[in-house]
């Protein structure tokens, strides 16, 4: 699965140093709030907010207070996973095609909405790119990465 991480930075912008901190300490609940570079969220409230945007999303309880929102067409494979510090948007790796552009367009609509509505920034770990919602370039970069890597993934012994 391809994944994009979304966070609301306390300073108004996400930096590489903040992402480094999150990767090192993000699973450590003992970290004092003042050290966290991103805001704490209420996953259920955020899920309700996203359901107002797209009432067709299907909510699924996650572990603890986490919530998943599944795109209603399961063949698309789109899942928004909300946890106490952010959102992870999952969608399948796919070769460049009209179908991949539709999936990416839907995903980046959610990303843009979260940016506009609540100040979420995105981090694409596959491209190592931080973004505040540069939709077209992000879609193009993601599509090109999938097009470049998918043949190798399909050829890999499994």
Residue 21, token pair as written in the block: 């901190």
Is pLDDT above 70 for 12? yes
pLDDT digits (tens, 9 = 90+) for 91-134: 887 655 666 777 888 888 898 899 988 899 988 887 777 776 55
Give the DSSP letter string of 44-73: HHHHHHHHHH-TT-EEEE-STT-EEEE-SS
Beta carbons within 8 Å of 122's beta carbon, 6+ residues apart:
4, 5, 6, 111, 115, 130, 131, 132, 133, 138
pLDDT of residue 139: 62
Q: What is the mean pLDDT of residues 18-29?
A: 91
pLDDT of residue 156: 55
The three-class DSSP label of residue 121 is: strand
Q: What is the mean pLDDT of residues 148-155?
A: 54
Under 8 Å between Cβ of 70 and 51 = no
Q: Domain 2-151 has what CATH class?
A: alpha beta
pLDDT of residue 62: 92
Q: Check: pTM over 0.85? Answer yes or no.
A: no
Mean pLDDT over each residue of the chain, to the nearest integer: 83
Nearest to 142 by CA among 114, 87, 105, 88: 105
Q: What is the mean pLDDT of residues 130-145?
A: 61
Task: Report the range of poorest mean pLDDT among 24-33, 103-112, 143-152.
Answer: 143-152
Under 8 Å between Cβ of 81 and 71 = no
pLDDT of residue 80: 97
pLDDT of residue 134: 55
Is pLDDT above 70 for 149? no
pLDDT digits (tens, 9 = 90+) for 50-90: 999 999 999 999 999 999 999 998 888 899 999 999 999 99
């Amino acid at each position: 699965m391809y994944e994009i991480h979304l966070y609301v930075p306390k300073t108004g912008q996400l930096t590489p140093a903040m992402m480094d901190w999150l990767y090192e300490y993000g699973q450590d609940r003992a970290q004092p709030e003042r050290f966290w570079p991103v805001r704490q969220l209420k996953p259920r409230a955020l899920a309700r907010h996203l359901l107002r945007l797209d009432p067709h999303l299907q909510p699924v309880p996650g572990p603890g207070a986490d919530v998943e929102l599944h795109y209603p067409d399961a063949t698309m494979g789109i899942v928004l996973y909300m946890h106490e510090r952010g959102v992870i948007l999952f969608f399948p790796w796919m070769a460049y095609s009209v179908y991949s552009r539709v999936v990416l367009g839907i995903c980046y609509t959610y990303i843009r909405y979260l940016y506009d509505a609540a100040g979420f920034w995105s981090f694409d770990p596959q491209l190592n790119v931080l973004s505040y919602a540069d939709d077209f370039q992000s879609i193009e970069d993601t599509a090109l990465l999938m097009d470049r890597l998918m043949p190798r993934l399909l050829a890999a012994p499994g």
